[in-house]
Amino acid sequence: MIQEIFLKRAENIRKDYLTLTRDLSTYEKMMRDIVSTIGEKHQELMDIKNKIDETKISSVDSAKNEFLKILIDLENESNILEKYIDSINEKMDILKKNELDLFRDIRQRYPEMSDSEIRSEVQEYIQKLNLS
């Protein structure tokens, strides 16, 4: 029987994993939003092109400023998304390290247990807590 302290660490890792899974759902929504934003910005660029073609925008500086505004908006959106992705990757790395550390600690404390026995006991504990 694995000591409670190890099982509590497994519980915390599982909770972190579930939180990360929710974060991934948020990331997925953000990706859909950015695809929509890109579509909107594409339309704005086409509108500017049409205005140039129809000579409604005759100044090069004016056209350049409108293009730059759109590009800056897209860059801001991508920077926000990149920060979010970096945060998720960092959390995943920490989670992976914690899981490996826990497994290593359990193996050291219970060398007679097989890997599958360790996994089974931890999974049973997690299931009892309704975290599976």
CB-based contact 85:27 (threshold 8 Å): yes
So where are the chain's domains? 4-128
**Tens digit of each residue's pLDDT (9 = 90 or more) over 45-56:** 999 889 888 888
Q: Within 10 A of 113 (CB to CB), how many other CB atoms are there?
A: 16
Q: What is the model's pLDDT at position 52?
A: 86
What would the mean pLDDT of 68-80 be, rounded to a whole number? 92
pLDDT at 59: 84
State the first-to-last Cα distance of the chain, in angstroms, to the nearest integer: 20
**Predicted pLDDT at 63:** 85
Q: Cα 104 vs. chain centroid, distance in angstroms?
A: 27
CA 2, CA 11: separation in Å to the nearest integer?
Answer: 13
Residues contacting residue 6 through CB under 8 Å, at least 6 positions apart? 102, 105, 106, 109, 122
Listed as own residue / partner, the contacts of 113-120 with beta carbons closer than 8 Å and 24 or more positions apart are: 113/2, 118/2
pLDDT in tens, 17-66: 999 998 888 888 888 999 999 999 999 999 988 988 888 877 888 888 98
As a whole number, the mean pLDDT across the chain is: 92
Which residue in 84, 105, 132 sits closest to 9, CA to CA?
A: 105
* 24 Cβ contact list (under 8 Å, min separation 6): 88
- Give residue for tokens 């997690």: 126
